[in-house]
Amino acid sequence: MKRKMLFCLVITLSLAIILVGCGKNKDSTTSVTSKRNDTSVKVETERVETIGVKGSSAGNIVNNGLVAQQGSVIYFSNISDKGKLYKINGDGKGSSKINDDNSQFINVIGQWVYYVNQVSSNENYIYKIKTDGTGRTQVCNDQSKFINVAGDWIFYSNDSDEGRLYKIRTDGTGRTKLNDDWSSNINLYGDSIYYTNWLDEGKIYSIKLNGSGRTKLNNDNSYYINVVDNGIYYSNWSDDGKIYKMNLDGTDRTRMNEEWSKYLNIEGNWIYYTNEKDRGKIYKIKADGTDKTKVGSDSAEYINIIEDKVYFISKLEKGKLFRISISGEKREIVK
């Protein structure tokens, strides 16, 4: 009888320990690892890390985010109609207007399009609108640039607070300052944010998504940074605008070309840029610096890329958005 009572007591204590252990696990931080760094990012909260789909590519956002894609539909800033937000099928047919705002830094996730409404040079607020044109909502009152939407969060440069890096939930809650740097050219990659710090002459920094781990990565005056495939590509204005590449920790800094290069955007294994030695025409080189090729004959700015199409604004035909194939063919206006 005593043995039975002792056995029951041991079982009871074991169950209690197991239940206490489960209770602790419920409050612990969990994490999920992304398999596609180009389309997702790890978003941190105080207790839980979740993966969120990104609303646009880094290369498009650092080029004013003129186009974004969801499925077979392209959302774009119609330069021919004062930058108003339009959508069009990938084949160039079925163009329709979504709003009357001058829309830049476009991100699309689910049924929502997020963008900066460029009311004037001193009024640029984050808005969202459903893909069918309903539900237009101002997200916050901050003057904002370089917005990157990932999952339920928007990361942005807050010009109302001297360009400091902020994040806010897509419903307008949880507004949080992440650093004290004048932050530009914002990229999300893995569990970090990469940006140029204009309080330090445009040098590249990184910081974790929760604002910790701020790290300086180089000493170059850096523009148009693209963080892809575990590397950072940028136009180095400390060396006459040549393209450079380095590792995520700032090591293995390497020059990739010899001409003044602007509006960098990376797609696949190719770096697209404007060659200022050739009047700003679009060129591409492979990510290892080989196979330089002229893509188009336009003097261009703000290179955006969706799949096999390169979008740009022509310097000679201001007020028009064009696109060509990645091989430089089929030039057409987008409106």
DSSP 136-151: -EE--SS-EEEEEEET
> What does the pLDDT read at residue 41?
53
How would you write the pLDDT of the chain (335 residues) with one tens digit per residue? 444 444 443 344 343 433 333 333 333 333 333 333 344 455 444 433 433 689 999 999 999 999 999 999 999 999 999 999 999 998 888 999 999 999 999 999 999 999 999 998 789 999 999 999 999 999 999 999 999 999 999 999 999 999 999 999 999 999 999 999 999 999 999 999 999 999 999 999 999 999 999 999 999 999 999 999 999 999 999 999 999 999 999 999 999 999 999 999 999 999 999 999 999 999 999 999 999 999 999 999 999 999 999 999 999 988 899 999 999 999 999 99
Rg from Cα positions in the chain: 23
Residues 6+ apart with CB under 8 A from 173: none
Residues 6+ apart with CB under 8 A from 258: 242
> What does the pLDDT read at residue 144?
98
| One-letter amino acid of 206 | S
* Count of alpha carbons within 13 angstroms of residue 123, beta-carbon side: 5
> What does the pLDDT read at residue 74?
97
DSSP codes joined into one string, 231-277: EEEEEEGGGTTEEEEEETTS-S-EE--SS-EEEEEEETTEEEEEEGG
pTM (2 decimals)? 0.85
Q: Choose among 302, 74, 44: nearest CA to 188.
A: 44
Instruction: Mention the CATH class of domain 29-334.
Output: mainly beta
Cα(100)–Cα(97) distance, integer angstroms = 8
Cα(113)–Cα(310) distance, integer angstroms = 21
> What does the pLDDT read at residue 48?
32
Domain residue extents for the chain = 29-334
Q: Which residue has the tokens 């007591």?
A: 9
